[in-house]
A and B are shown apart, each in its own frame.
Chain A
């Protein structure tokens, strides 16, 4: 998906060290927020009412929710469709 109008953003619930280890081991190259950064009373997952992991939310170019759930394949399919559509409009 390099060079295409798409970004994968993680929200990581582990400690920063564990997350970095996992990223190195799994060769993950996406950017991640810390779910509950030091000094925060709330976590991002609370704000987003996440009740199970993993949870995936797919947003379109207007920041509108197009998928929310636990099914990575379905989320990927929807994201790809949106990217294709977006590229068609842009070209």
Chain B
């Protein structure tokens, strides 16, 4: 027994000794870990919310009712916690995933928080590769913040350390060129070539999809292309053709009563 307690005592560094090199287990959990735990907690809450909503619809369907109202996803409960994480690590790389979460989850529900987080990311973290999850949202953001769109795209294209973020920014910059010019124009051709070169380099599925769906449509229905004719029944069952109206300016409206 004596020898054992001696050993235990010896394991404690004497106060006058230099502390040993810091050991990871002695530190409080790192921000990354805290973020991951919080994100996992949110994912679980989201899953539970989703199941609740599905059950609501299933129950209603069983009783022949329609669901007119259902609860919001648990964004609001988590927002302050992610904001707190971002504040705690303000100005450091560790703040980035918290801010990215706030943008991703607040953009359509808690605009002011999301806007602020997005501004912080652009002002202080434009170079961070941690912005990659926001790539697919860049084009929606350029619609939501039209006055800032050009600036944010230029900044990310120039400053991001991530090839993928830069590629998304390029896509957002080129999208209006595809839309405003017909597929037979030089501008369209050059923009397409630029994107294809980038896509071959970054090999990203969702950017590829964004490009394919937009550009395939525009190659057939882009500016200056001849529209295909339509021949089909009208609402009274009388068949007619769009070309019956050729020679006039046509406003073709795909509509429904929702």
Contacts and interface: CB of A to CB of B under 8 A. Distances in A.
Interface of A: 5-14, 16, 18-23, 30-35, 37, 40, 44-45, 47-51, 53-66, 68-69, 75-76, 79, 82-83, 86
B254 A35 contact: yes
Nearest to B214: A51
B103 to A, nearest CB: 23
Contacts of B21: none
B24 interface: no
Which DSSP category, helix, strand, loop or mixed, fits chain B's interface?
mixed
Contact of B255 (A13, A20, A40, A76): A13
Nearest to B216: A49
Interface of B: 179, 213, 216-217, 220-228, 230, 232-235, 240, 242-243, 245-258
A5 B228 CA distance: 20
A60 B247 CA distance: 8
Contacts of A64: 224-227
Nearest to B228: A47
A60 to B, nearest CB: 6
B230 A33 contact: yes
Given A23-B235, A64-B227, 9 more contacts: A6-B250, A10-B253, A49-B216, A58-B250, A63-B243, A65-B224, A68-B221, A76-B251, A79-B249
A25 B254 CA distance: 18
A50 B222 CA distance: 13
A55 B254 contact: yes
Closest 7 CB pairs of A and B: A22-B257, A13-B256, A59-B250, A57-B252, A55-B254, A7-B245, A5-B248
Contacts of B230: 11, 33, 44, 47
Contacts, number: 143
B249 A16 contact: no
A12 B255 CA distance: 5
Given A19-B257, A53-B254, A83 B226 contact: no
B233 A33 contact: yes
A65 B243 CA distance: 14
Given A7-B250, A59-B250, A14 B220 contact: no
A60 B7 CA distance: 92
Contacts of B250: 6-9, 58-59, 63
A9 B253 CA distance: 6
Contact of B252 (A9, A47, A61): A9
A34 B247 contact: no
A5 B247 contact: yes
A23 B253 CA distance: 14
Contacts of A47: 228, 230
A49 B220 contact: yes
Nearest to B224: A64
